[in-house]
Amino acid sequence: MTGVRTLLIALGLAAAAVTGVLAAGEGTAPSPAFRQWPGECVADAPFMRRNHMDLLKHQRDDTVHGGIRPANHSLNACVTCHAVKGDDGHPVTVADSRHFCRTCHDTTAVRVDCFSCHTSTPGVAK
């Protein structure tokens, strides 16, 4: 079982890498299929694909330790602009595989615990 699972993950990563190259012309990370977000990202897409985790972590450290709370890299801003509507017309939570923050993480087997504290839908931070 372990061997099969490892193989499946390896295949998944290979497929994700190919998709990323085709979608972005840059082989760093896959790109979500849903791409209709309003407005502009806090940085360009290739930069964000590579560095969003660092942006978020630095921001978190600044906020929790330094009390600095600039709005532009806030997690709530990310999930608000990148919201994906579900069948009921409301933004899906991270429990739904269509959620923006899961589109790549699921294929690359990344797990983040952020949403045990932070809300994953648009609105005021939990």
Q: In the complex, which residues of this chain contact ligand HEC (CB under 6 A)?
A: 24, 29-32, 37, 39-42, 44-45, 48-49, 52-53, 55-56, 59-60, 63-64, 69, 73-79, 81-82, 100-101, 103-105, 108, 110, 112-114, 116-118, 125
Separation of alpha carbons 63 and 70, rounded Å:
8
Q: Which is nearer to ligand HEC, 3 or 56 (CB)?
A: 56
Q: Which is nearer to ligand HEC, 4 or 42 (CB)?
A: 42
Overall size of the chain counted in residues:
126
Angstrom CA distances, 37 to 60, 117, 126, stand at 24, 24, 23
Q: Which is nearer to ligand HEC, 1 or 124 (CB)?
A: 124
Tell me how far, at minimum, the Cβ of 95 lies from ligand HEC, in Å: 14
Contacts 24+ apart (CB under 8 A), 96-104: 98/34, 100/32, 100/34, 103/30, 103/32, 103/33, 103/34, 104/16, 104/29, 104/30, 104/31, 104/32, 104/49
Q: Which is nearer to ligand HEC, 31 or 91 (CB)?
A: 31
Tell me how far, at minimum, the Cβ of 86 lies from ligand HEC, in Å: 16
